[in-house]
Amino acid sequence: MAHFAHYVRRTVVEVNYEDPSDPWFAENQPDNQGFDAPAYHVTRSLTGPAARVSKGDTIWLFSQLTTPWGNFPPALDAKIVVDTAMPTHAFDQKTPVIRYEANAGSKWFPLYNAAPCIQDLWTKDVKGNSQRLLSNEDQPIGQALQAMRELSNVDPLLKLERKIDTMPFDFISYRLIDGTRLAFDKAIQLVEEGGAVFWDRWSLPRRLAERREFLSDYSLDIYILKQIYQCKTLWAIHSTRYAEPGSYSACEMYLAQRLDKLQIILSKRTHFSE
């Protein structure tokens, strides 16, 4: 089976969380799509490698999370084991796309620096010859994978996958409304130190993290609790409104205390007492 690589854009968006009419809000979506594994991938490319992907092939998705305060290193976003590849149209019903439905074995990855792996990847050119994925060490991964490319060697990716799968990860707990910048500071510190990180701006499906689409609280609750049980440490990023009664952060901190996984980060502007 063939392996392909593609880039997806991931961005931390600054939003007015107190305004329910903010245009970042979007429509309701089915509750069971995309939490434990990606449901599909879409590309506007209709020719070349994108058109050669078929059932049983694998698409490796890379991204480099950008934020208003700085960018993370490039990371492996998801693995799509293709079930079907189907020409269709985008949500506007006008733009032609190819939609790849994901099969068993597809997965999301936590935030983890994939730059060393990317340096070792080779792809096939139009004649089938091998060439480095990056034309030079400084080429942005988004530029190199703007269009899907077929990989000629997949061993570095399989090695990276095994490493991430067996690596304990850290969980970032914070309040979106006033603690996102503080959460960014801790998340990027952990990644730059070589850790794997669950941060919702990356680790929740893009339809939630970047478009604020709605789904039942129950579905999100179950997913978040599962991650806290599995993480090695929960970092509580305290801002003025952290751990308010009824908030996710209050539940997360309480569970982490019970599991003896809690580490508290106090902001310079916040006083917090147990």
**Picking from 24-28, 122-126, 160-164, which range would have the lowest pLDDT averaged per residue?**
24-28
The domain limits of the chain are 3-266
Q: Kindly report each contact of residues 241-249 with a partner whose C-beta sits within 8 Å and lies 24 or more positions away, as own/partner.
A: 241/175, 241/177, 241/178, 241/179, 242/174, 242/175, 242/179, 242/270, 242/272, 243/272, 244/175, 247/175, 248/173, 248/224, 249/173, 249/174, 249/175
Tell me: pLDDT of 206 over 70: no
- For 152-180, how does the pLDDT look when each residue is reduced to its tens digit (9 = 90+)? 999 999 999 999 999 999 999 999 889 99
Burial class (CB within 10 angstroms; exposed 0-12, middle 13-18, buried 19+) of 182: buried
Residue 148: per-residue pLDDT: 97
- For 68-115, how does the pLDDT look when each residue is reduced to its tens digit (9 = 90+)? 999 999 999 999 999 999 999 877 678 899 999 999 999 999 999 999
Amino acid sitting at position 208:
L
State how far the Cα of 164 lies from the Cα of 93, in Å rounded to an integer. Answer: 38
Tell me: pLDDT of 269 over 50: no
Give me the chain's average pLDDT, please: 87
How many CB atoms are located within 10 Å of the residue 47 CB? 9
Task: Calculate mean pLDDT across residues 204-215.
Answer: 58
Cβ atoms of 221 and 229 within 8 Å: the answer is no
Task: Calculate mean pLDDT across residues 248-260.
Answer: 95
Residue 59: per-residue pLDDT: 98
Residue 35: per-residue pLDDT: 78
Contacts with 36 (C-beta within 8 Å, 6 or more apart), sequence order:
108, 223
Tell me: pLDDT of 31 over 70: no
How is residue 113 written in tokens?
Answer: 């620096």
DSSP 3-state assignment of 77?
Answer: strand
Predicted confidence band of residue 20 (pLDDT cuts 50, 70, 90): low
More confident residue, 229 or 90: 229
State how far the Cα of 6 lies from the Cα of 53, in Å rounded to an integer. Answer: 12
Residue 12: per-residue pLDDT: 83
Residue 272: per-residue pLDDT: 38
More confident residue, 144 or 16: 144
State the pairing for strand pair 58-63/196-198: unpaired
Residue 24: per-residue pLDDT: 45
Q: Please give the backbone phi and psi of residue 219, each rounded to the nearest 5 degrees, phi first.
A: -60, -45
Amino acid sitting at position 174:
Y
State how far the Cα of 274 lies from the Cα of 267, in Å rounded to an integer. Answer: 15
